[in-house]
Amino acid sequence: MSFSPLNKRNVVSDFFPPLKLSGCNLSYIRQFKYLGHDNQLYDDVDINRELKRLFDRTNLLTRRFARCSKQV
């Protein structure tokens, strides 16, 4: 994974040679799944994923308790 620098004047090269591990080429990725960050280190993907999970849980609780009385 490579990161874009904030100051473009410090860029040495836009091309990175292929990396090899045990004779196999390693591919560059734009996003890793652990925290959902993209290559600019923004949390947008992770925040959207958490919002979706929040809405899912809220809808689940709403459906389960929709027919309950107010005392419950």
Phi and psi at 21, nearest 5°, equal -135, 115
Q: Is residue 2 part of a domain?
A: no
Please check whether residue 44 lies inside any domain of the structure.
Answer: yes
User: Domain for residue 56, yes or no?
Assistant: yes
- pTM exceeds cut of 0.85: no
**Is 3 part of any domain?**
no
Q: pLDDT tens-digit profile of 17-65?
A: 788 889 898 887 766 666 555 556 667 777 888 899 999 999 999 999 9
Residue 50 located in a structural domain: yes
pLDDT at 11 over 90: no
Domain residue limits at 55: 8-65
What is the total count of domains within the chain? 1
